[in-house]
Amino acid sequence: MANYFNPYQFNPYAVNVPQYQQPIQQQQTVQQGGYINVSSEQEAINYPIAPNTSLIFIDWSNKKVYEKTKGISPSDVPMMKVYNLTDVTKGEIKPEHTKPTKDIEYAEKSEIKAIYGEIDGIKAQIEKLTAKKGKKDE
C-alpha cells in the first residue's frame, strides 16, 4: 500500500530524462508610450515592432528622431521616418506656412458716401435718358 504523505516516495513509472531548456535570449521589451533611446539609425531599424503599432526612437548623439510604423498584417514592412532634433528657444518658432501680406488700403466712411452719391447721380441720369427715350418712341 502506498504512503501518500511521504514526499520521498519512489515512483517506478517516472522516467529520468533531462529536460530541454531553451537558450536564454535577451528580449527587448516594448515600452508603452514615451520614446526609446537608441544609439544609431540601424539600431532603430533592427528593433522589433508588433503589427499595427508605431514607436518613437531618439538618438541623442546624432540629434535625430526616428518614427517606425508597422501595418496590420504581420507581413507588412515597417515604415521609417527620420526627423532632426533641434533646440528651439522661445520666440524662434516660425510658422511653416505664412500667407504673403499685401498692402491693404482702407477707405474712409466719407469717401464711401461720396462714391454712393456719384452712383446715385449716374442712376438718376440713366432714368432721365430712358424716360426721354420712352417719350420719343411714343
117 within domain boundaries = yes
- Average pLDDT, stretch 23-38? 64
For residue 29, is pLDDT > 60? Answer: no
Domain identity same for 77 and 112: no
How many C-beta atoms lie closer than 10 Å to residue 69's C-beta?
A: 14
60 within domain boundaries = yes
Length of the chain as a residue count = 138
72 within domain boundaries = yes
So what's the pLDDT on residue 1? 52
Structural domain of residue 114, as residue ranges? Answer: 107-138
Tell me how many domains the chain contains.
2
So what's the pLDDT on residue 7? 64
So what's the pLDDT on residue 68? 93
Q: How confident is the model at residue 83 (pLDDT cuts 50, 70, 90)?
A: very high
So what's the pLDDT on residue 3? 55
For residue 69, is pLDDT > 80? Answer: yes
Question: How far apart, in whole angstroms, are the C-alpha atoms of residue 22 and residue 42?
Answer: 28
54 within domain boundaries = yes
For residue 19, is pLDDT > 60? Answer: no
Q: Looking at the whole model, is its pTM more than 0.75?
A: no
Question: How far apart, in whole angstroms, are the C-alpha atoms of residue 10 and residue 3?
Answer: 10
Domain identity same for 115 and 71: no
- Average pLDDT, stretch 92-119? 81
- Single-letter code of the amino acid located at 69: T
